[in-house]
Structure 1
Amino acid sequence: MTDTAAQPVDAQHTFGQKRARAIYDLGHSTIFSARSDARFAYCTYVPPQLDLATNPPELVVVMHGTGRAFTEYRNAFASFARWNNCIILCPLFPVGVNGDGNRDGFKQLREGEIRYDDILLDMVAEVGEKFGCTFPRFALFGYSGGGQFANRFCLLHPTRLWAVSIGAPGSVTLLDPSQDWWVGTRDMHQRFGTTLDLDALRALPVHMIVGKADIETWEITHKEGGKFFMPGANDAGKTRPERLQSLRHSFEQAGVQVHFDILDNVPHNGQACVEPVQDFFAQVLRQMRQPGSV
């Protein structure tokens, strides 16, 4: 015998679930704690018509800089997500998670016992499970401090990416086996348990971008006794454009092709760099989605 009294309650519950998903999960999401470590969080942009799409979406991760403007970057990529059938994931790695006021730990990928690359990879898995997707590879863009993160993440995990865009990092990790991390890669295995996979890096579409007027040095000059000072810390150049050019040359000397953008009359402004990054990702997506592409 059917319990007719329960049907309206069930229908109301189902409606509530769908309404909550539409408000908090689809489109511009609310902010979620990461399941692997609640000290960290993320927001997303998910195309509202995701369930009607004929093809599964791709994932784009946008990594904030020192200012933690993660929702602003999410909003800036919303139209790109709708037009290109992508989900946007923007992590938040707060200042001072160890109670010491450190603003820069995430840029180095490791802060004490925290591995920020592993936190991000679990966020990727969490978002995939939430929307019934698998993301064995994703695109990564980071600007300023996020550019440092993107630079180093692609060295450790090139096989997890379908594209990377490195924007205006204040410090760079070169493909230099003669110098220790973070300046070079000599002791990468001892620090992170992985070796540099040059073949995978050579197969990765790499974009680098910086403003030509991004020439202030007060925040990026390493001084002896400083938190990240080490031999060679300033050798890549004085300014962000000079340091990114050094990173480009380092990649190209190792056989890694780089699409390089230097924007006239642009100072240190991540939002001014978003459109060229999106153009680069869209081009890679078109190639990936061609019939017969791997």
Structure 2
Amino acid sequence: MKATKELMMPLGYYDVGATPFFALQADQRVSYCLYVPRALAEAQDRSAWRLIVAMHGTGRTATTYRDKFADLAERERCIVLAPLFPVGLIEPEELSNYKRLKFHDMRFDLLLLAMVDEVGRKYGIDVSRFLLFGFSGGGQFVHRVFLLHPHRLAAVSIGAPGNVTLLDDTRDWWVGTRNLQAELGADVDLAAMRRVPVHMVVGAEDTETWEITLKPHHSAWMEGANDAGATRIDRLATLKANYEQHGIAVRQDIVPGIGHEGWKTLEPVIAFFTAVLQDGAKRSVA
């Protein structure tokens, strides 16, 4: 959705800076918080403002990721949106509801897009394409959003996903994409995926496997669940090779001395997003 002055709404005290959580009006089971630079409230022309989405992992540390992108938002005229998909939706204690996009009656990719569009309407900014980051469980979520909705992304940064979905028409969802249309009502659009700048990041010491090795009793188990490799490093390497085999360029950073620690991998993510935003600004002026 493009920014228009007609869609701008009056902003209150809690609508700028680090905001509280807002219930998504399309489905109030989920919510989001924002970081909104105060300069936006004074801007008459918001056409150059952009949106960054920072997706939490299993620990649901949404505000931490939101705050870590605040300086980038100030420098590059962006709003940061941090979704919150709580533990225990529909099933008590259920941790992974959002990671594979569909859970009972909930489509978390579509809920994310509803959040994005709600923020675009409220703040009058262009959210037709946005930058998307996620680490760990968030990395699982964002690379699957990329599969289904590349036309909505200006860039994607995929951090240390525990399980990966490969472009593979010989295996069913979620390991592969053979039955993507039947499961999620979408087809792979490789041409659109190739147009999206892709970044991958993982710590060089992210080698623990206790959380990501799936066994037959696990709710997400299916044949091939562990075939992408033993560690998150291995699985990200497999995903990178899979993308490159399909003509999707990938920039990768392996951060030395870091294990499975999301905040400590953000420096290369912020550098990547900065380059994407600045390149987009140059193109809009040219």
TM-score bracket, normalised by the shorter chain, equals: over 0.9
The whole-number CA distance in structure 2 between the counterparts of 1:191 and 1:100 is: 24
Equivalences for residues 211-250 of structure 1 within 5 A: 211-250=203-242
Q: How many residues align?
A: 276
- Sequence identity percentage: 48
Residue 158 of structure 1 corresponds to 150
Residue 12 of structure 2 corresponds to 21
Q: 1:37 aligns with which of 27, 37, 40?
A: 27
Q: 2:37 aligns with which of 37, 47, 53?
A: 47
> Structure 1 length as normaliser, TM-score?
0.91
Residue 6 of structure 1 corresponds to none
The structure with higher relative contact order (CA 8 Å, sep 6+) is 2
- Shift of the alpha carbon at 1:292? 5.4
AA of the residue aligned to 1:162:
A
Question: Is 2:175 the counterpart of 1:175?
Answer: no
Q: Which runs of 5+ in 1 are unaligned?
A: 1-16
Structure 1 runs of 4+ with >4 Å offset: none
- Shift of the alpha carbon at 1:99? 3.3
Question: Is 2:50 the counterpart of 1:61?
Answer: no
Q: 1:184 aligns with which of 168, 176, 179?
A: 176
The whole-number CA distance in structure 2 between the counterparts of 1:256 and 1:143 is: 20
Please give the per-residue CA displacement for 1:203-262, whole angstroms capped at 9, x wherever unaligned. Answer: 110000000100000000011221111111101000000000000000000000000111
Q: Which moved more, 1:220-229 or 1:203-212?
A: 220-229
Q: Which runs of 5+ in 2 are unaligned?
A: 1-8
SS at match of 2:205: coil
The whole-number CA distance in structure 1 between the counterparts of 2:256 and 2:202 is: 9
SS at match of 2:99: helix
Residue 3 of structure 1 corresponds to none
AA of the residue aligned to 2:61:
A
The whole-number CA distance in structure 1 between the counterparts of 2:238 and 2:92 is: 32
The whole-number CA distance in structure 1 between the counterparts of 2:234 and 2:274 is: 27
The whole-number CA distance in structure 1 between the counterparts of 2:92 and 2:171 is: 28
AA of the residue aligned to 1:146:
G
RMSD (CA atoms): 1.5
Note if contact 1:125-1:134 (Cα within 8 Å) is conserved in structure 2: no
Note if contact 2:46-2:125 (Cα within 8 Å) is conserved in structure 1: no
The whole-number CA distance in structure 2 between the counterparts of 1:277 and 1:224 is: 35
- Shift of the alpha carbon at 1:288? 1.1
Question: Is 2:140 the counterpart of 1:148?
Answer: yes
Residue 253 of structure 2 corresponds to 261
